[in-house]
Every structure is written in C-alpha cells, then in structure tokens.
Homo-oligomer: A and B are copies of this chain.
C-alpha cells in the first residue's frame, strides 16, 4: 500500500511537471501531419492517438492531416494495377485517383477517427472536398521539359477555406483531414499531405506544425546519423535544399515548414514518429525532439 502510494505520488509529480506546458499551450492550435511508421505499427498508432486526445483535454486544439501511401499501393495491386512514379510523384490516372480517395477517406481516415473516439476524443473526418476546404489546380507535368510526364490528378493547393475547421473545433471536435483537394471542375486531386498540413497551419495561424516522419529529423549529412540538426533556420534550410543536402522525401516536409512559417505559424517541427509519445515529447519538454525549422536564426 505504502509503495503503491509512493508510486502514485511520483506519477502525480509528473503531471505537475507538465503544468507549465499546459499553461503555455492552452488555447493554441497544433496542426499534426500523421504518417509513416506511426500509422503502421499498432502500438505507435495508439500512442499518437492518445497523445492527441490528451492534447485536446488539456485545452490544445489538435488538427490531424494524413495521407496513406502504403494502403493505396496495396489496393492498386489487388486491382491488378501497377503504381507508376515520375520523379517521386505518383502518376495518378482517373482510376488511381478513385482508389486514392477510397483508401484515404474510406479506410485510413475512418480508422483514425474510430481510434480517436475509442480513446475518448470526438473526431470528425473530412477531406479537402468537404465544405470546399481545399481548392487545388492540376500540378504542371513533371519530367524534363523535353519529355514531360502528365501526372494526372495530382494537385497544388490554391486556397484553403478553414471555416469548417473552426465550426468543428468550436463544436468540440478534433478534425481529421484527408489530403484530397477539389479541382476547378469539381474533380478530386491528390495532394501531398505535408503540403496540406503546412497550408492549413498557415491559414489557421497555428501555434505549431508537427510533421511525424520515420527518421530522427534532418541531418547535416544524411549519411551520418550523428549529424542530426536540432534547430534549422529558414535560410539554411533553403540553402540545403538548393545544395541537394536534403533528401527527396524530406523536401515536401521542409517546404511545408517554410509555408507555415511564412503564414505566421510560431514553430514547425519534423519529428520521429517511431518514438512513442513523440507528440507529447515535442510539446511538453523544453528541448523538444527532432528538428525545429524556424523563421529566424
């Protein structure tokens, strides 16, 4: 009994340690790009979702954005269709966009919503088509100028209309958003989920943008794990992209951070989603984890 009591008291001490962070972030909005291992492993999935529900209970407004690459490819394969990529971008024909949308909204989104609700949150899942949330245009063809490849139904964000997000958060809901936008003719367009998160954070004037990924953060030398950068000023980030020092998959994440920073977001973070409670660690410890991309030096 005594021992149990002491253990409890230590736990209460931990809650109390978090108090200054509750004070700092209470009432703020945090946009979270959910993806990678954290969306695959059951344990990590639960960990992320519980972190998000906790954030809401302590007065923070989490907004979740997700993509769903692996599941898309899986269904494509089952349908006997091969995935084609051009310079890292999925070539998305009419059939593919249909699969993308079904997997994102009908599988991934609802799984997340269901988990959030199971852990005591109240989630509502929507896509960029609902309430005209994300207007997009076709992305120009990729490939070199001589031999461009039509990417099909791949979009770039034109305008975010965040009114529905406010309606939902004011109603007490946690919005969960699929990275599908609406094109000029009402067609669905596949949009990079990092970009969606960055633009949403900007249009919501979020306090933080957190992008979960499967590496520790950005490395000065991406072949050397010891070269992790804790704080990356905007100018250095741009220089590193130009110099080819940031690897392919990381580029949209860094771009999302820069978009958010330009839109007035306070802080942006690229965080290792393979660590359990990575969100809480980022928000509720002084050092944070991963790489913080910041406006100033």
Contact = CB atoms under 8 A, between A and B. Distances in A.
Interface of A: 5, 8-9, 11-20, 22-23, 26, 47, 50-51, 53-54, 57-59, 75, 78-79, 98, 101-107, 109-110, 113-115, 117-120, 122-127, 129-132, 163-164, 167-168, 170-171, 173, 180, 182, 186, 188, 275-277, 280-281, 284-285, 289
A277 B281 CA distance: 23
Contact of A280 (B12, B115, B132, B186): B12
A132 B122 CA distance: 7
B114 A107 contact: no
A113 B164 CA distance: 14
A66 to B, nearest CB: 13
A196 B122 CA distance: 20
Contacts of A182: 114, 117
A22 B57 contact: yes
B168 A173 contact: no
A131 to B, nearest CB: 5
A52 B112 CA distance: 30
Contacts of A57: 19, 22-23, 26, 58-59
Contact of A102 (B20, B47, B107, B168): B107
17 contacts: A5-B281, A12-B276, A12-B284, A16-B277, A22-B57, A101-B107, A102-B102, A105-B106, A110-B188, A114-B182, A115-B186, A117-B182, A117-B186, A122-B131, A122-B132, A167-B171, A167-B173
A13 B50 CA distance: 10
Contact of A109 (B75, B79, B105, B168): B105
A53 B167 contact: no
Interface centre among A47, A113, A285 (most CB of B within 10 A): A113
B59 A281 contact: no
Given A13-B277, A15-B15, A114-B188, 19 more contacts: A5-B275, A8-B277, A12-B280, A19-B120, A22-B120, A101-B107, A101-B110, A103-B106, A104-B106, A110-B188, A117-B131, A117-B186, A122-B131, A123-B131, A124-B126, A164-B171, A167-B167, A167-B170, A167-B171
